[in-house]
Amino acid sequence: MVAVAGRRPGQPRPARLAPRRISLPGRHLSLIGRVALSVLLAVVLAAVLGPLLWRPGPLQQHIALRLQGSSWAHPLGTDTFGRDILARLFVGARWSLTGAAIVCLGTNLLGFVLAAFAALGNRFFDTVIGRLTEALLALPGIVPALALTAVLGPSFPNLLLALIVTSWPSNARVYRSLILRERSAPYVEGALALGAPRARIVVRHILPNILGPVTVLTTANLGGVMLSLASLSFLGLGMQPPTPEWGRMVNEGRPYFQQLPWQMIIPGLCIAITVLSVNLTGDSLRDAAAPETAARVRIGTTPRGR
């Protein structure tokens, strides 16, 4: 047996400092999770390709064809201005999915940065961020986002900003727990002892090793974000006419529910199916992850002490 430099034959190999990178459990999804993921991908493809393949424009008005039923030219009928409902659903899917993705990205980024300050900074930052997180979590539901959007003014960018500002605390609690777990690892202790900048440690060492739980948490939160976005858009605080958005389309079909119920039911079904597929995909990812990670993401608890 050839001897390795610095190690005698038969001597055990030294333990690695850096842990094994966490892999995503996508290949181990359950049957329900795979079906839900397929439905979600179909919705995304419809949002991307639908407006390109379906010729009637979502903003083209034909007053003579207003409030029509299903036909070859308009499979889902027309709305009160004679606009094709199917075309508006395709474009509305773009805004709904894009808005939810932006909010999830913003809440993850803001929550991770604040959690890193709390976990790796001094106790003052940890205490301040912890109290701010508890205060925001004590507020009921989407009321803070509703109030902030009303102050900023009804528009889609203001709605996204309000949801990001008011939705980061739950993510920050989970990320603080994950960062504290990695903080005690030998490779982080060694990097700190060598004087490596904390920002470099977070980006180069900690973030890649918690990428799996971050993905699971993001998928699990996406459905709730879509419901909040649709709810506030239904109240008129999101996308403004004439641009279509699923929550706004439900509100536009409300006055004609008794005569033409499909105008309100169809966008509502689109929201329900998309949110259900997202939630089932997130649950499958969570169950396929390691039990310790799944419990932490589900409960959002933090370890005691530093």
d(CA 254, CA 163): 25
Tens digit of each residue's pLDDT (9 = 90 or more) over 186-236: 887 787 787 778 788 888 888 888 887 888 788 878 888 999 999 998 988
Q: Which pair of tokens denotes residue 206?
A: 């900690």
Q: Residues near 156 by Cβ (< 8 Å), separated by ≥ 6?
A: 95, 99, 238, 239, 240, 243, 245
* Alpha helices, DSSP H, located in 239-306: 246-253, 262-288, 291-299
Place of tokens 């966008």: 267
Cα dihedral 179, 181, 182, 187, rounded to 10, equals: 150
- Is the distance from CB of 269 to CB of 262 less than 8 angstroms? no
Report the share of the chain in percent with pLDDT over 70: 85
The reported pLDDT for the residue numbered 99 is: 92
Q: Which segments of the chain have a pLDDT < 70?
A: 1-28, 289-306
Tokens of 254: 């409300």
Helix segments in the chain, DSSP class H: 31-53, 85-120, 123-138, 143-152, 156-183, 186-193, 198-201, 207-209, 211-234, 246-253, 262-288, 291-299
Tokens, residue 67: 């409030």
**pLDDT of 4:** 46
Q: Is 232 in contact with 146 (CB distance < 8 Å)? A: yes
| Cα–Cα distance for residue pair 75/77, rounded to 1 Å | 6
Topology (CATH level 3) of domain 52-59+75-299: MetI-like fold (1.10.3720)
Q: Cα(119)–Cα(153) distance, rounded to whole angstroms?
A: 35
Nearest-angstrom CA–CA distance, 91 and 249: 11
- Please name the residues in contact with 44: beta carbons below 8 A apart, sequence gap of 6 or more: 97
DSSP conformation class of 142 = T
> What is the pLDDT at residue 10?
55
Report pLDDT for 273: 94
Element (H, E) at 13: none
Residues, the chain: 306
Query: How far apart are the C-alpha atoms of 272 and 305, rounded to whole Å?
Result: 41
